[in-house]
Structure 1
Amino acid sequence: MEQFSVRSGSPAQTALIGAALADALRPGDIVLLSGDLAAGKTTFVKAVAEALGSTDPVTSPTFALAQFYSARSRILHVDSYRLADVEEYRDLGLAEYQDEVISLIEWGEKIAGEFPCHLAISFVATDETDGRSLTFASSCDRWTGALGDLHAAISKDTNGAHARDRIVID
């Protein structure tokens, strides 16, 4: 499994990380986001959507379960929090769109077995105010080189930033 972690100290830094990922995404990609409530998952999805050119309002689809956003590549935003199991996800009928959209799934760990090839991003709050640690991981061939490219892109995006604004890569 290939993986790396970054530490974000603010929502703005989380948005920079999301924008860097957006450059690597293509239709058919599945990104599973995990983390506690208010860990930054929806903020991250909003940044990815904006980086892909979406002007649609991005909100957590906790009650709607799924939302589509128009962008250079169409985005499917799913929230699995209220789903009891994978069967409930299957009943939504979203699998028919998977090859045509970029899927960003909050609470994705609940249905990870449904997606043999996916990028997992876990969000963990740190002790600092608004701080988050994001760990990117995948064991799928699609992400083998892409994770290295993403790591380099995040490093480049913050290389010239003031020390307090730099994203720390672990």
Structure 2
Amino acid sequence: MRILVILAHPDLEKSRANRALLRELQHHANIAVRDLYREYPSWRIDVVKEQQLLLSFDRIVFQFPFYWYSCPPLLKKWFDDVLTYGWAYGPEGNHLKGKEFILATTTGGPENGYRAGGDNWFTISEFLKPIQRTITKCNGRFLPSFVAYSASQGDDAFLSQEAKRYVEHIQSSPTLLVH
């Protein structure tokens, strides 16, 4: 299975967690990484190029820090620009039909902060619903997300373990991810 990780971090140099995840990805030949903030510093997205890349891979992973209860702004722009009517959804918009998608995010807060009555009031799954619906609207197959909680507080050993768990998750068969 060929996997494309679309990385969207506005300041990757300052993110120990996302850099740890990225380092672990580099040990796997079947995983390609596309860093949107490095690729598009001017925010002018090459839509045709991005669409062709999506067609070339079996599974697409969106990796990003959980950013004000959503994804960073360049990833949102990427969704708006690349997932177009007539290509990704709508009449004849079936190019992503059956493609597998996974969201992979890091949070500064602990898992128990993402629940009813917790600091953030909602689960991470509830916060990610708009992106999930975007993917399903485009006829993609949404697989369970990967979340590294408390990432900003983790030491190097913790981040290394999370990175291994991340790669295992995104390479798992759908039958193992969906119970």
Q: Same fold (TM over 0.5)?
A: no
With the shorter chain as reference, the TM-score category is 0.3 to 0.5
Question: Which structure: greater strand fraction?
Answer: 1
Q: What TM-score, normalized by structure 2, do the two folds share?
A: 0.34
